[in-house]
Amino acid sequence: MKQRALADLTVSAIGLGGMPMSIEGRPDTARSVATIHAALDAGVTVIDTADAYHQHADEVGHNEELIADALRSWGGDATSVLVATKGGHLRPGDGSWTRNGDPAYLKQAARDSAKRLGVDAIGLYQFHRPDPKVPYAESVGALVELLDEGVIVRAGISNATVAQIDEANAVLGGRLVSVQNQFSPAFRSSQGELEHCAGLGIAFLPWSPLGGISNAGELGANHAAFAEVADKHGVSPQQVALAWELSLADVVIPIPGASRPASVQDSVLAADLQLTDDELARLNDN
């Protein structure tokens, strides 16, 4: 698979998002493990997770543990796989999502994530979502301490504006390596952040790159141009969407979620799908 730079690392151009395997509607463990193994077998070397990817209140870190177990039971060399996790978003168990950007909380959350992932230091730790009750610089300050203490190797942020990207990078002394924002054919309002990351050479990880768990299957039905280009190439509209995202800047690394091996196996082919300039122009306008 084609590769992309993420800080000092080289990772697969298409990653795997772990959320569908741990929240409402998740499959059984055997299917989840098969999905993660399918991604690894296909050459995926970046997997996105979060401590908040769980359903019930008493299973914080469900997805982190699932991924760690799947990496251990995989036959290949798992040391080359970057597991990127996040903290600062919580699920109390009633279906809602809450936030906690308190630095002391984030520092403990990262330590707990490292334990669940079974690593001495987390390869990429991302502040999940700004907490309006805590000054942003204070939350990001926790990442500085985690870096300096060796709990995390690299720091990223998520759901950030251009101003927050600049603020985080300043607080981190230029050590911000990734931004994870929502971006898909249906949701393009992070185009400014994507371009800002491209200018700074910071990786941009589109989340819900296919429109989200409940809309991904309808991507072609909802976006005619993506369906038409897909038909021309004999591929899925989802592959076209991922290839289009990759075309927007070299820093883009989509992390499509999956709960079935077939979804991953289809998505990774986007890395090698060549779209013409005319097709890309059409998709940009659609």
Ligand X SMILES: NC(=O)c1ccc[n+]([C@@H]2O[C@H](COP(=O)([O-])OP(=O)(O)OC[C@H]3O[C@@H](n4cnc5c(N)ncnc54)[C@H](OP(=O)(O)O)[C@@H]3O)[C@@H](O)[C@H]2O)c1
Active site residues: 53
Count interface residues toward ligand X (CB under 6 A). Answer: 30
263 sits near ligand X (criterion: CB under 6 A): yes
- Segment 2 to 61, residues that bind ligand X, using CB under 6 A: 17-20, 48
Residue placing its CB nearer to ligand X in the complex, 149 or 224: 224
Residues 6+ apart with CB under 8 A from 261: 34, 35, 37, 38
**Residue 180 lies near ligand X (rule: CB under 6 A):** yes
Fill in the per-residue mask, 70 to 89: x = in contact with ligand X (CB under 6 A), - = not in contact: --------------------
In the complex, the smallest distance separating the C-beta of residue 53 from ligand X, rounded to whole angstroms, is: 7
Residues 6+ apart with CB under 8 A from 6: 46, 82, 124, 177, 178, 203, 253
**C-beta of 22: minimal distance to ligand X in Å?**
9
Binding-site member from 109, 208, 243, 279 for ligand X (CB under 6 A): 208
With respect to ligand X, which residue has the nearer C-beta, 110 or 150? Answer: 110
| For ligand X, the closer CB: 50 or 146 | 50
111, with CB counted inside 10 A (0-12, 13-18, 19+), is middle
Residue pair 18/29 in contact by the 8 Å Cβ criterion: no
Q: Which contacts of 159-165 are long-range, i.e. CB under 8 A and separated by 24 or more positions?
A: 159/128, 159/129, 159/130, 160/130, 160/193, 161/193, 162/192, 162/193, 162/196, 164/130, 164/136, 165/193, 165/196, 165/197, 165/200, 165/202
Contacts of 244 (CB under 8 A, 6+ apart): 185, 226, 275, 280, 283, 284
Residue 227 interacts with ligand X (CB under 6 A)? no
Which of the ranges 141-149, 192-200, 203-211, 221-229 carries the binding residues for ligand X, by CB under 6 A?
A: 203-211
Kindly tell me which residue out of 267, 273, 275, 283 binds ligand X, with binding defined by CB under 6 A: 267
Residues found near ligand X in the complex (CB under 6 A): 17-20, 48, 128-129, 158-159, 180, 207-213, 216-217, 236, 238, 255-260, 263, 266-267
